[in-house]
Structure 1
Amino acid sequence: PLENVEFGRIGAQAAKQVILQKIRDAEREQIISDFLDRKEHLVNGVVKRIDRGNAIIESGRVEGFLHRDQMIPRENLRVGDRVRAYLLRIDRGARGPQVVLSRTAPEFVMKLFELEVPEIEEGLLEIKAAARDPGLRAKIAVISHDPRIDPIGTCIGLRGSRVTSVTNEMAGERVDIIHWSAEPAQYVINALAPAEVSSIVVDEDKHSMDVVVDEEQLAMAIGRGGQNVRLASELTGWELNIMSRETAEAKQSTESGHTLALFIEKLDVDAEVAQILVDEGFSTLEEVAYVPLNEMLEIEAFDEDLVNELRTRARNALLTAAIVGEEQVEASAGDLLSLEGMD
């Protein structure tokens, strides 16, 4: 038989508290689990209390935490205010799971549009991305899966009713709605609206674009405090360098000069041949070495013998550079091993 253990009054009270706490934790886990099962990313609730600037939001049987840095700047929530927020994540700590809410996340504006635009839930429209400067300005990229539907007009709504509802929920934050495009350059052009783009140079390796605009469009393209270009960059995922035509021409001239000198030295050709390569859009030895043969043969000033010779010289130059680089690495490694204590 089990031995009876005598608890004092204090010990019994402590055991009772531990058991009750475990029960409360289990209940909270179950409530949150049921809440997550509904897959509702927007939470509607009431401010229950304010704690050091953070708001505790009561939504049904769930309490969510809206931290100060997840509130829209300059908005002041009070106890009893009705609030809508995005379910950002569930933090699981020693005090149990905590529902973390946000009103500044880009997903918040996307979910608000899903509420206002039934065509999104029906699969006719899709919001592909969003970027925000909370409380001031947002950009969303939309696409229509039905050619009969204008995605921008549909999101704006009759007399702007739909976009106005979203703006009001976000403390007056202005929303730019643009067409999403699978073509990166076109996507960036759309994202920089209302500024008009003259030309774009894409650098795939650096995942960046030089965006050229007319002088009178420069301030609009950049935006106040860099807001427009920053949001466009965040929306598209590309690093964007906005510049005037004059700046672009100066940059191109400098880069062309460097490329010209590179070709003259590494390919051992005269300035005329090097200039033809630059004029045809070649900017690296790799391009000369490995661009399809038929593309180089389309250059009127080059015959097949010259093309083959240029490709061979370019490949030899690249091979030499690789060997030198490897020797430098080995030499550096040898120097490190020769240091005292590196045996």
Structure 2
Amino acid sequence: MKRLIVRRLLQTVPMLFFVSIVCFILVKAAPGDPVRSFVTPNMHAADIERVRHNLGLDKPAYIQYFIWLKNCLTGNFGYSLVNHKPVLGQILERLPATAGLMGSAIALAVILAIPLGLVAGANRNRWVDKLVNMVAYIGISLPLFWVAILLMYFFSIKMHWLPSMGMRTIGMNSALDVIRHGILPCTVLAIGFLTVYVRYIRSSTISQLKEDYVQIQYAFGSAKRIILFRHVLKHVVLPVITLVGMSLGDLVAGAIVTETVFSWPGIGSLGMTAVKGMDYPIIMGITLFSSVLLILGNLLADILYGIVDPRIKTTSR
């Protein structure tokens, strides 16, 4: 297992290098000029060029990249072109909000998907299975931003049950207030993964119920509920660990949309603001952070895979 961790960590270096190059090329190829945000009607061409020089945008693109890469290797991710604050400081400042939202969404999706998928697979082609399938298909088909607006309209505007925007109420500093603000964005973010996990667990349950060990348990007189949650569950959860690790990329993308709609002060909303303002350092910093999160998530999934199934730990040595 230690060799696996070391090998995967070493593989992250060329991966992050490649991601940074692709991201830098895409950012430079995007239309727009960040210098325009500093231009006023009374500025002369020489003043504009001076601003461009001060921002380091007058150098060739490859030189700008290597300067940025050199600074990153020393822990300096640069400063925002808009608010002139350190990029790393802004990301770390918003990290708890995003991590709490993403962690809650994944936990909620997995907790609900396991029993729903097991019950649907155990009752194949019955009304329970058809109902779960119908809800899953609807959830897969709906875009997250539309679901977010719909829930906001009903639960915030119409019923006044939950707050619609932000992370805290002005003048309040309690955990309960944060939870109330996080219910809607967490629900929206979890829906997209819940539907996928339910379908996957359902198909895995159907295939596991055909295995010999299930028939043996039936022959011993075990109840169907016991077989599902004591024996089949062990085999179904194992692939879900990998599925969750592979979903982290989509989770980050979903967090960007969700945080923007609900004005959640996380990394996603920071990224959207940076894209609108052509804030190159912020965009690059968030892209690298998302890549590291995805790589570490897959590594964690492999580690958990070995913990749940000791046979994998043995074969990796």
Band of TM-score, shorter chain = under 0.3
Give the number of the structure whose residues are more often strand, by fraction: 1
TM-score normalised over the length of structure 1 = 0.25
TM-score normalised over the length of structure 2 = 0.26
Give the number of the structure whose residues are more often helix, by fraction: 2
Which structure ranks higher in relative contact order (CA pairs < 8 Å, sequence separation ≥ 6)? Answer: 2
